[in-house]
Structure 1
């Protein structure tokens, strides 16, 4: 029924060799396997612009003090993102970070998003 299933061990070995040879040849001649490129996009300078950020993520701050504070947080988070992405470019990190809707937030403000509960003292 199945030509590769046989009571003869030499026939099974022969099939295994054919399979290995085919796999090697396919991986050599298949350009998508031969050139692995990251899917992620490294953010450009426009992504790090405060006015672009507010526009892209629909941020409107009523109080000038709040906008100044959020802008400072954004700047600090962008520094962290750039440092991380530099390490990615050097090959010491495996993923890219980017600006998102949380870039103007402090880590303490985002703790509730992790689903982890902390013990109250």
Structure 2
């Protein structure tokens, strides 16, 4: 009995030490600083809870299609990060298309090397849509105009087309709380919106050669907050 207690105590010390090391590494890797000792204690507890979720997930799902891991959000709860409102995506049959021709595609293609995609940003919730278009040099589209004029569950792409196109962030920098369509002059527009059929990766690979893709994702699960790699699918989106 005493031997079992000793072994248990040793294991407890090892686990506690490992958790503390992970916490210190996390703070160093992501340059984390907190306003007070109480706030750090709170974030540390959340961090330990999330790490425990990661370990439990790995144990229960060794062959899962996506992986969890420690990232810059591991000291936060999922409720802090996502919108409470969810939007079910109804497939629009009339606008679904698939490619009818086979073309040669390279092993990889990255629009970032073409000056089309902006750096990754914290976009907030689903309503904070960023329109990014290449016109010689990268020009950021106005998020504020989309937020004001295309509230969910309005399809933002259809809405932008009806508004006449995309204004620059410089011309419409902040939300006004009401839609003012003529406050800015669009610098780019599109005439056609094409939607992929479910799981039609061949079409996606073909289309990506000529255009970037707009996607909606489900960020409501802790598994997304702690995401490290792989894929999962859902019809509920809020980002």
TM-score by length of 1: 0.51
Aligned to 1:49: 22
How many angstroms does 1:87 deviate by?
2.7
Match of 2:126 among 93, 115, 121: 115
Structure 1 SS opposite 2:69: coil
Q: Quote how far apart the aligned CAs of 1:62 are.
A: 2.2
Superposition pairs for residues 1-121 of structure 1, below 5 Å?
A: 49-89=22-62, 91=63, 93-112=64-83, 113-115=124-126
Q: Which has the higher strand share?
A: 2
User: Whose relative contact order is higher, 1 or 2, with alpha carbons under 8 Å and at least 6 apart?
Assistant: 2
How far apart, CA to CA, are the structure 2 residues paired with 1:115 and 1:63? 32
Cα contact 1:88–1:94 (8 A) shared by 2:
no
Distance 1:114 1:60 in 2: 25
Structure 1 gap segments, 5+ residues each: 1-44
Aligned partners of 1:88 and 1:95 also within 8 Å:
no
Q: 1-side partners of 2:65 and 2:28: how far apart?
A: 30
> Structure 1, residues 9-55: CA drift from partner, whole Å, max 9, x if none?
xxxxxxxxxxxxxxxxxxxxxxxxxxxxxxxxxxxx68x70000000
Q: Deviations over 1:58-99 (max 9, x none)?
A: 10112000000000000000011111122332x2x2221000
Q: Which runs of 5+ in 2 are unaligned?
A: 1-17, 84-123, 128-151, 153-239
Q: Which has the larger radius of gyration?
A: 1
RMSD, matched Cα: 2.3
Q: Measure how far apart 1:114 and its partner are.
A: 4.7
**Separation in 2 of the partners of 1:94 and 1:86?**
14
TM-score if structure 2 supplies the norm length? 0.27
Number of residues of Structure 1 aligned to a counterpart in Structure 2: 70
Match of 1:26 in 2: none
Moved over 3 A (4+): none
